[in-house]
Amino acid sequence: MRRALVQLLRCPRCRRGALQPEVDAPVLFFGPLRCQACGASHPVAEGVADLVVDPAEAGPLQRGMEQRWVARAYERYMRPVLQRALTRQPLDGDSEFVLYRSLLGQPAGPVLDVGCGTGLLARKLAREPDAPPVAALDVSRAMLEEGVAQVREAGVAVDFLRAEAPYLPFQDGVLGAVLMSDALPFVADLPRLLMEVHRVLRPGGRWVASTYAPPGAPRALLHRGVGLHARGEAELRREAAAAGFVRFERVSLPSLLVVKAEKGSAQTPR
């Protein structure tokens, strides 16, 4: 984990203090991060900071993501299968990245990939010439371990964090963009998530996320039972506006909805 990213973090326990490493080094591989306000200590191992304080009870699908064999097979097999099951006609990998990249624009600060899985899109972003710093966040240890291995093999720079949305362990107004590819349905508290994303973004920063079309009542109960929360455009637009976002846009494909919204300046009308 690069020191430049550590300086942007906020203690997930007291949600106000900055985090300080015990060793002043450009890259932190091991050792705790200590909160300057409450004194809480958060471990770092293999360059991954563990910032989960009170983990929520995971649904069956999320528990499956903790299996190492699932993480190893995620990009090649599990992710395409899950996308096909939920969206029926998923985009191919290149088209998916081009769509997200076009909606992100030119971030004026670090990009955070929330619910990154094994970091597939984070790696692609980090490969771009003159790319801003890229951070990737997930709650699954198995996914993060695989992500670290993939980043080392690819030879790109991505900083991984173990944390659990909706709360984001960053200081106010420090990120240029927040990406949530396939991760939005895993977050139950949408209003809190959008308040957090709005808080950590710089003015003009963008939130880009994807979800799938809400199913009918019988299937909706089944989806909730495994820990999935599908949302339609009207709900996303309403909650984004309530959190303070402006310039809401959407790309609607069969059973797939990709949205973008911006954090405006004080002078920007909603």
Tell me what percent of the residues of the chain surpass a pLDDT of 70: 98
Mean pLDDT of 145-164: 96
Answer yes or no: do 128 and 239 share one domain. Answer: yes
Q: What is the CATH number of the domain that holds 141?
A: 3.40.50.150
- Phi/psi of residue 23, nearest 5 degrees: -110, 130
Listed residue (256, 53, 269, 86) closest to 161, CA to CA: 53
Is residue 123 in a domain? yes
Answer yes or no: do 64 and 38 share one domain. Answer: no
Its pTM stands at: 0.94
Total tally of structural domains belonging to the chain = 2
DSSP string, 80-138: HHHHHHHHSSPPPHHHHHHHHHHHH-S-SS-EEEET-TTTHHHHHHHHSTTPPPEEEEE
Q: What is the DSSP letter of 182?
A: S
Is 193 exposed, middle or buried, given 0-12, 13-18 or 19+ CB atoms closer than 10 A?
Answer: buried
Answer yes or no: do 47 and 64 share one domain. Answer: no
Answer yes or no: do 70 and 44 share one domain. Answer: no
Is residue 270 in a domain? no
As beta bridge partners, residue 206 has: 177, 262
Answer yes or no: do 130 and 150 share one domain. Answer: yes
Q: Note down the domain range covering 103.
A: 56-263
* Span 178-205, pLDDT tens digits: 999 989 999 999 999 999 999 999 999 9
Is residue 215 in a domain? yes
Answer yes or no: do 27 and 108 share one domain. Answer: no
Q: Which of 51, 73, 91 is the last residue of a domain?
A: 51
Q: Which long-range contacts (CB under 8 A, 24 or more apart) does 15-22 make?
A: 15/167, 18/171
Answer yes or no: do 89 and 38 share one domain. Answer: no
Answer yes or no: do 113 and 44 share one domain. Answer: no
Token output for 75: 């990009």
* Span 101-131, pLDDT tens digits: 999 999 999 999 999 999 999 999 999 998 8
Answer yes or no: do 33 and 109 share one domain. Answer: no
Confidence of residue 219 (pLDDT cuts 50, 70, 90): confident
Confidence of residue 217 (pLDDT cuts 50, 70, 90): confident
Residues 23 and 184: beta-carbon distance below 8 Å: no
Amino acid identity at 224: R
Answer yes or no: do 38 and 88 share one domain. Answer: no
Answer yes or no: do 40 and 102 share one domain. Answer: no
- Kindly report the average pLDDT of the chain as a whole number: 92
Is residue 238 in a domain? yes
| 3-class secondary-structure state, position 147 | helix
